Amino acid sequence: MIAHNISECNCKECALRPLFFNHTTKEQYSNLCNSKTEKQYRSGEIIINEGEEIKDFLYLKDGLVKLFRKGKDNNDQIITFACPFDFVSLLSIFSDTKFRYSVSALHDSTVCMLDIEMVRSLCRKNGEVAMEIMEKMSNISDEIINQFLNIRQKHLRGRIAFVLLYFSEKIFKSNSFDLPVSRREIAEYIGMTTENVIRILSEFRKDSIIGISGKSINIKDEKRLKVICDLG
Amino acid sequence: MIAHNISECNCKECALRPLFFNHTTKEQYSNLCNSKTEKQYRSGEIIINEGEEIKDFLYLKDGLVKLFRKGKDNNDQIITFACPFDFVSLLSIFSDTKFRYSVSALHDSTVCMLDIEMVRSLCRKNGEVAMEIMEKMSNISDEIINQFLNIRQKHLRGRIAFVLLYFSEKIFKSNSFDLPVSRREIAEYIGMTTENVIRILSEFRKDSIIGISGKSINIKDEKRLKVICDLG
DNA sequence: CGCGGCTTTGATGTTCATCAAGTAAAGTGG
DNA sequence: CCACTTTACTTGATGAACATCAAAGCCGCG
């Protein structure tokens, strides 16, 4: 990469770079750089709409988003959340012409977009790049499937414990954090009702496992929470 | 492919061939051919064991298999079923060193195995092949995630209807078929108890929606079954 | 200010898992 | 081949887990 002329773009700062740029020729690299566009979204805005045609390969540079789809009776189902450098438009991107899921911003977010045909053709020409992307995709899909299987066999208390630990460990890396989602969205993520999400959060507070104040969460007894997650 | 010397193996008959062999050089092709081994499994036999090291890239040439993993309390969870030319070792194969799931044969099955390192290196050298595999993987992962989301929002009757239609449409392409799985395995697939699987199958029989005799199923009222699947 | 969405709690009812008990089928060893 | 064990299947009764319904407080926003 030292050989590349990177003055024209800020991709050298991008943590996603190893994926694309370690294995590309100077020409491939600069093609990518020139075609990329960055876009800002405010918290709450829709980034991808289910059913839209796939024109770009998107990845998240900054922020936090949710992947979801419309279920029966217009109930949303949340599939997963994504942090920077998780792909955003990963699922179905190489197997379909339209997005099967929607993506929206939970925090203000920055998304980088590459023309999908360019990425496809780069993959075809450059197996190294294809492999990098394949590994990442494979990882993410696996993680989602794993999550579904884990959640399915838990009772509601276990699911709530799981979500709290998920945000704490995977997203915010801290025992204190602000929930980036509403109670309803938690329910949509783990397949239960809003009322029960609230009820169980209150239970946990009464049992001094967590502290709650609005969206702000503080995990007081991580050990017990993990036990509930594993056995509940 | 006409240029290839295929006398040394029977890959020319293989429906998976387009995946690998349309884009490979003569040398790559014959390397693959020589390294491949075919293996037979009897119904019930384990093909892959959860936790085993990934040494081969497997695909199913003939038969029917289930993918599953051990859940809590040694309860199995079935992830999906696979027919010929669905991959068998698709998940985690490019993201992990060990299988996250087990695979076992539901019918007598034939599996073809390619050395995983050879496939990896072929992908790195040949982007076309990588893209073919990526599309297939992406498709399968998507299908599984989709299935999970669909099942999750259904009641038990809807889930049973779903499974019956799944076997009828996707696997056997007929309204009459022999269930390749036990009642228990159905329960493990759609996340409910064996007793309720039986109860609801009996209900459907009493309502003349299906005929049952042991493992043999006959869908009498497909239309009603679809309604139950969609609304239940 | 008032409207709509989010949150909270309680009361009620339904869906579903669990427990129990029995029959049938299938594999096992003498 | 027959007793024996185990596994699959079936049905009913019970209770627990969970969804639904209802009502009220809260907060941000036009």
Higher-confidence residue of B3 and B213: namely: B213
Please tell me the predicted confidence (pLDDT) of residue A164: 98
A204 Cβ neighbours under 8 A, 6+ residues apart: A160, A161, A164, A210, A225
For residue B88, pLDDT over 80 is answered with no
Q: Distance from B136 to chain A by nearest Cα, in Å?
A: 7
Is residue B14 within 8 Å of residue B61, measured between CB atoms?
A: yes
How far is the C-alpha of A178 from the C-alpha of A218, rounded, in Å?
Answer: 9
- Distance between CA atoms of residues A44 and A57, nearest Å: 21
Global confidence as pTM: 0.92
Taking CB atoms and an 8 Å limit, are B123 and A133 in contact across chains? no
D11 C1' to B199 CA distance, Å: 8
CA–CA separation, B204 and B119 (whole Å): 47
Strand (E) or helix (H) holding A37: strand A37-41
pLDDT at B187: 98
Structure tokens at B230: 């969609």
- Beta-carbon count within 10 A of B178 CB: 12
Which nucleotide is nearest to B212 if distance is taken from CA to C1'? D9
Closest CA to A123 of A211, A24, A212, A230: A24
- Cβ within 8 Å, pair B130-A135: no
Quote the minimal CA–CA distance from A232 to chain B in Å: 10
B128 contacts on A by Cβ (under 8 Å): 124
Q: CA of B72 vs C1' of D16, distance in Å?
A: 20
The helix (H) or strand (E) run that includes residue A132 is helix A127-152
Cα(A218)–Cα(A177) distance, integer angstroms: 7
Judged by DSSP in three states, A45 sits in: coil
Give me the tens of pLDDT residue by residue for chain A, a chain 232 residues long. 333 444 456 676 676 777 777 777 777 777 777 788 999 999 999 999 999 999 999 989 899 999 999 988 888 999 999 998 888 776 778 888 999 999 999 999 999 999 999 889 999 999 999 998 898 888 899 999 999 999 999 999 999 999 999 999 999 999 999 999 999 999 999 999 999 999 999 999 999 999 999 999 999 999 999 999 999 8
- Which range has highest mean pLDDT (A135-139, B61-65, B72-76)? B61-65
Structure confidence by residue, pLDDT tens digits, B122-169: 999 999 999 988 988 889 999 999 999 999 999 999 999 999 999 999
Contact A36, A30 (CB under 8 A): no
Interface of B with A (CB under 8 A): 69, 71-72, 75, 77, 79, 91-96, 100, 120, 122-131, 133-139, 141-142, 144-146, 148-149, 152-153, 191
Give the Cα separation of B5 and B73 in Å (integer).
Answer: 52
pLDDT tens digit string along B158-197?
Answer: 999 999 999 999 999 999 999 999 999 999 999 999 999 9
Q: Given this model, what pLDDT does residue B3 score?
A: 39
